[in-house]
Chain A
């Protein structure tokens, strides 16, 4: 380091964030790890580095991917480097000093829902809680509910924290939440999957929701223990599941996608000249739409589906594909699901969000990059 920053601690944070961003973008793991050491050596609080430097950098990685300014490979590499940064921070003497000097708190389990691959937000929370004196069992990405429950029986944590970024994992999240609660353990959830205001967390009966790691760390000590209730059943939260629409749509997803692909080919003869790879990507787009519809049916939340269609329109537009290309797919889907009133209402609402003149001969969504933002 050739320069010393004399500004107030709050003032130096943006500089560290900018430098970590550069290191992450260059894929320079060693520069990134050196940055952690330098920042902590200069007196930046470990918790502040996690929450005010690493977390915003990771959020920017996701945003840049969505804006098509990062490739999937860059996105994965950036995330891997941030993982290393968090690991390096945990080993730094300053972090260990902070953990040791914190008043002992309880024991907590932090895990990602099965199928959730983005472990970093949960990892950051786990490290923040360690810094605050908690005994943390961090189970990592995509934890099968079975393993989670075994772990809870073994360790009897005071609280379980579950993370999920992808809304289509919400039915799995619900199974995990109710399973944890059945052991008498309260559950805090977090991550983009639960909606901007955490509304879906409430629908699924989670005990608490937090918008970010800092809020979660503040909230966790105040979460009251649960008493299992004899009559409680998972279906009580979601009585609409009785109409079987979710079950039918999710079980026949493959068949639905096939029918829609056939329908699209009839409407757009040009699709016949697609390469197998292009056809594959189109099918994946359709499968994604079906998966989100199924999830919206599970929660009985129209917004979940319309928000996804709005988001997808945005992604398509950024990649030079007109959002109108979604219309034929939605129309065909509505046709296939004509016997399902809830599904039909959701599709109609989604079509309403794509505001534009009625579809002419818009091409179906062109293949695009299929990685997901971190």
Chain B
């Protein structure tokens, strides 16, 4: 009956001799015959099962395969059934490796995708490669100037950033890999040929070195160099797969970081022209300006201001605050044009009506013209007081905050610019005593919508009320307070571009005698 069973069977007596070996067992263990000691008939891992107290299932290799041997009591002896578990074990091992690989690649993706910074991507790549693929790794990116940026991660897992003048030509394949063209497989190079900046002395003897280009999709992303202590100059199949997948992810992350860095730098260059100027004083008058674009992701919008100092002592300086219809970058580009035009018109700045008329002509001429509201403020300081000439062209009216807390409207009205062929406006004159402020603002402040009930405008009246509390404030504090109130009024809701300029007649200042140093201050 047992003789024809499909699984190998050995029956072993209590004294340790084989009593029965079926056909399958004899095929597996040729020495197994009745009467032969189990020690001679079966592999050691089975015979040792007897030495370890109660008999339990054991497993081990026979020839090239592995088996599980399951015991069952048969009279005083033991019947051992053998089951081939080679495939099961291989599958389990493969699954474990696959899980490790997946975990590694998933971790690599997470870390690489989390940053758009080139340096950080290089560090992450070098560190992960050292941890999972090699004993040390270098990431080299295309040359910046005369030097190659390098990230080196040693066996201790510490990443060192360097910028080295090196000749990639001395390492076979490196120059091509750095160019990202032509495409080529990973290249194993002779470790003794590796220069010292590659195979570092502190690393000790190098067994093998492999150079892999990081695929950059049109942008050369860089090169990954792996250093190993073993001299096996090839990847196993599974290592090859992982190394390739990792290189693809690292290359994609690094080329994205490179493109992002380039874009940011282009945007910054273009934006610099559009950003509002920073200022604290203009020809002896204290000025504070605050700006916030409606779109959080942008730094500029349709509001703008400019400050032009007087060309000669005793003349007026000019402050411009304006609001182009529309918002975002398109509006910002138009503000750039208007600012340039106004700059060109500065020689006639004394005549506000003429400046506005010429600007109107320019904007009316444009095909795709949009309109703009503006307030022009010509500022002159005479001893203690500051004289302002203000002209509004369709713009919210400026306020004047007196030292006693009174808030006055400035009586200037005019047509907005760029909409009608002829425009009209009148200019108002205001005199500020020391400590008094004239506030220019855009409708982003008064039309801020929100408040405790969520749907009210901030409005001119509320602004006027708040300004009554602001008598005597320094202009920075005043401008910040107004912008803060309007922003808090909006809360988390949507707001328009907001711009505020506070023009303040300086308070008299004392002679600075502290420490005998002077910063060029003067008394008023």
Q: Is A274 an interface residue (CB 8 A)?
A: no
Tell me which residues across on chain A come within 8 A of B481, comparing CB atoms: 72, 76
In whole angstroms, how far apart are the Cα atoms of A79 and B111 in the complex?
Answer: 42
> B472 contacts A37, CB within 8 Å?
no
User: Which of B26-34, B47-55, B447-455 binds A?
Assistant: B447-455
Tell me which residues across on chain A come within 8 A of B114, comparing CB atoms: 182-184, 228
In whole angstroms, how far apart are the Cα atoms of A1 and B517 in the complex?
Answer: 12
Q: List 5 A-B contacts (CB under 8 A).
A: A73-B470, A81-B474, A115-B488, A150-B264, A154-B117
User: Which of B56-64, B307-315, B337-345, B507-515 binds A?
Assistant: B507-515
The verdict on A72 contacting B110 (CB below 8 Å), with A154-B117, A156-B120, A184-B120 known, is: no
Q: Which 5 A-B pairs have the closest CB atoms?
A: A254-B454, A287-B452, A80-B477, A283-B452, A144-B296
Q: Supply 4 further A-B pairs (C-beta < 8 A) apart from A81-B474, A184-B124, A258-B453.
A: A72-B481, A76-B478, A146-B296, A147-B297
> B487 contacts A142, CB within 8 Å?
yes
Tell me the chain B residues, 458-473 only, with Cβ under 8 Å from chain A.
462, 465, 469-473
Tell me which residues across on chain A come within 8 A of B512, comparing CB atoms: 30, 34
Shortest Cβ distance from residue B451 to the other chain A in the assembled complex, whole angstroms: 7
Tell me which residues across on chain B come within 8 A of A102, comparing CB atoms: none
Pick the residue among A80, A145, A227, A255 that contacts B476 (CB under 8 A).
A80
Q: Which residues of A contact B (CB under 8 A)?
A: 1, 27, 29-31, 34, 37-38, 41, 71-73, 76-77, 79-81, 83, 114-115, 117, 142, 144-147, 150, 152-156, 182-184, 227-230, 253-255, 257-258, 261, 277, 280, 283-284, 286-287
Tell me the chain B residues, 242-292 only, with Cβ under 8 Å from chain A.
257, 260-261, 264
Q: Is B484 an interface residue (CB 8 A)?
A: yes
Shortest Cβ distance from residue B81 to the other chain A in the assembled complex, whole angstroms: 44
In whole angstroms, how far apart are the Cα atoms of A229 and B113 in the complex?
Answer: 11
Tell me the chain B residues, 109-127 only, with Cβ under 8 Å from chain A.
109-111, 114-117, 119-120, 124
In whole angstroms, how far apart are the Cα atoms of A214 and B303 in the complex?
Answer: 40
> B106 contacts A79, CB within 8 Å?
no
Shortest Cβ distance from residue B367 to the other chain A in the assembled complex, whole angstroms: 34
> A71 contacts B469, CB within 8 Å?
yes
Q: Name B107's closest neighbour in chain A (CB-CB).
A: A230
In whole angstroms, how far apart are the Cα atoms of A241 and B17 in the complex?
Answer: 71
Tell me which residues across on chain B come within 8 A of A1, comparing CB atoms: 514-515
Tell me which residues across on chain A come within 8 A of B470, comparing CB atoms: 73, 76
> B480 contacts A73, CB within 8 Å?
no
Tell me which residues across on chain A come within 8 A of B119, comparing CB atoms: 156
> A254 contacts B455, CB within 8 Å?
yes
Tell me which residues across on chain A come within 8 A of B469, comparing CB atoms: 71-73
Q: Name B118's closest neighbour in chain A (CB-CB).
A: A156
> B477 contacts A254, CB within 8 Å?
no
Tell me which residues across on chain B come within 8 A of A117, comparing CB atoms: 480, 484
Tell me the chain B residues, 2-59 only, with Cβ under 8 Å from chain A.
none
In whole angstroms, how far apart are the Cα atoms of A350 and B28 in the complex?
Answer: 81
Q: Name B509's closest neighbour in chain A (CB-CB).
A: A30
Pick the residue among B116, B452, B517 that contacts A284 (CB under 8 A).
B452
> B117 contacts A155, CB within 8 Å?
yes
Tell me which residues across on chain B come within 8 A of A81, comparing CB atoms: 474
Tell me which residues across on chain A come within 8 A of B509, comparing CB atoms: 30
Q: Name A168's closest neighbour in chain B (CB-CB).
A: B491
In whole angstroms, how far apart are the Cα atoms of A229 and B115 in the complex?
Answer: 13
Tell me the chain B residues, 476-500 only, with Cβ under 8 Å from chain A.
476-478, 480-481, 484, 487-488
Q: Name B121's closest neighbour in chain A (CB-CB).
A: A156
> A154 contacts B477, CB within 8 Å?
no
In whole angstroms, how far apart are the Cα atoms of A256 and B219 in the complex?
Answer: 55
Pick the residue among B115, B480, B487 that contacts A184 (CB under 8 A).
B115
> B111 contacts A227, CB within 8 Å?
yes
> A283 contacts B453, CB within 8 Å?
yes
Pick the residue among A79, A253, A280 that contacts B454 (CB under 8 A).
A253
The verdict on A153 contacting B453 (CB below 8 Å), with A71-B469, A77-B472, A146-B297 known, is: no
Tell me which residues across on chain A come within 8 A of B515, comparing CB atoms: 1, 37-38, 41
> B454 contacts A255, CB within 8 Å?
yes
In whole angstroms, how far apart are the Cα atoms of A39 and B46 in the complex?
Answer: 87
Tell me which residues across on chain B come within 8 A of A280, comparing CB atoms: 451-452, 462
Tell me which residues across on chain A come within 8 A of B521, comparing CB atoms: 30
